[in-house]
Amino acid sequence: MTEQSLPRPAIAVVGYGSQGRAHALNLRDSGFDVTIGLRPGGPTEVKAKADGFTVKAPAEAVKEADLVAVLTPDMVQKQLYADVLAPNLKQGAVLLFAHGLNVHFDMIQPRDDLDVVLVAPKGPGALVRREYEIGRGVPCIYAVHQDRSGRAEQYALAYAAGLGGARANVIKTTFKEETETDLFGEQAVLCGGASSLVQAGFETLVEAGYQPEIAYYEVLHELKLIVDLFYEGGITRMLEFVSETAQYGDFVSGPRVIDASVKARMKDVLKDIQDGTFTRNWQAEYDAGLPNYRKFQQADKDHPIEQVGRQLREKMVWLQGQTETQPAARKEAA
């Protein structure tokens, strides 16, 4: 099916954070009719109006939409669906998510008449927008949970194309696969794993008597150089661009740090994700007002590596002016 033959539904984007703004702008520039659904007086209403969008309360925005994209934080989606979306979505509409958590774990049970799909760009909102503007695109994955019209997959592909994903790569998945792999990646490698590895490396060097500033450069600052090489060409490219000494250290010491016991614990993390333990715990934490979340967050912010890092980054003139893009990595923002 060509991009020209795909459907072009009227779209309501609910939420205007990092992903919401990028989706809305790209879709509009691709020729879709886009309305933004936001709380009146909310912090992003002014931004959406400044970008030239018609902004309505979510209940009003979704009433006439053929497709409703839910781009709010995970933990507000259950109530949003029950209070606003379910009573107001028109018959036979398409309900689209960028992350499958609420549907996969049955916190949202969509109306039977709806098409329910997922489209997830594999990059932060700022990158989704930037790549589109220069004529490229960020790869997207998509899934169909419920196909009542017989055209749910076509709607998902149309949306992905509108984001620019068809310019790069579009891969079919399932709500289960997207949700579980996304949560695992964040927890075991990208956020939890990487942060803990960096903190442990910093602590090891400082406790051995090395300067905190030197430790910061070695275990955190230079990590970007390695990750960029991973991103550009995988582990092979990284090995091509580091010294033979670094390669040998990789071969003999990497498996000593990340050994079979680490992989076993990763499997435990995955099991908690798969059986819903993580999601139940996260929902309970959210419902309780986030006491542990805030404690853990503050502990990370107070770690000595952050204190050293703030001082060192003040002298990195090339970083000045980039702070406004830092939150863009968040996939969900109201």
Q: At what angle do helices 291-302 and 277-287 cross, to 10 degrees?
A: 90
Beta carbons of 156 and 142 less than 8 angstroms apart: yes
118, β-bridge pairs:
97, 143
222 marked as binding residue: yes
Beta carbons of 72 and 334 less than 8 angstroms apart: yes
Q: At what angle do helices 18-29 and 125-133 cross, to 10 degrees?
A: 20
> In 10 A of CB 79, how many CB atoms?
11
137 marked as binding residue: no
294 marked as binding residue: no
59, β-bridge pairs:
none
149 marked as binding residue: no
For residue 70, give the 3-state DSSP assignment.
strand
- Residue with token string 């194309």: 161
Quick check: is 104 catalytic? no
211 marked as binding residue: no
Q: 225: exposed, middle or buried (C-beta count within 10 Å: 0-12, 13-18, 19+)? A: exposed
Residues 6 or more apart whose Cβ sits within 8 Å of residue 77? 70, 97, 102, 107, 108
18 marked as binding residue: yes
Task: Report phi then psi at 88, rounded to 5.
Answer: -120, -20
19 marked as binding residue: yes
Handedness of CA 271, 277, 283, 287 (dihedral sign): negative
Distance CA 142, CA 175 (A): 8
125 marked as binding residue: yes
Beta carbons of 180 and 167 less than 8 angstroms apart: no
Set 99, 104, 221, 303: catalytic member: 99
120, β-bridge pairs:
141
195 marked as binding residue: no
218 marked as binding residue: yes
16 marked as binding residue: yes
Beta carbons of 332 and 75 less than 8 angstroms apart: no
Binding residues for substrate: 243
Which residues are catalytically annotated?
A: 99
What residues form the annotated binding site for NADP(+)?
16-19, 39, 44, 125
Residues at the annotated binding site for Mg(2+)?
Answer: 182, 186, 218, 222
**Residues marked as binding?**
16-19, 39, 44, 125, 182, 186, 218, 222, 243
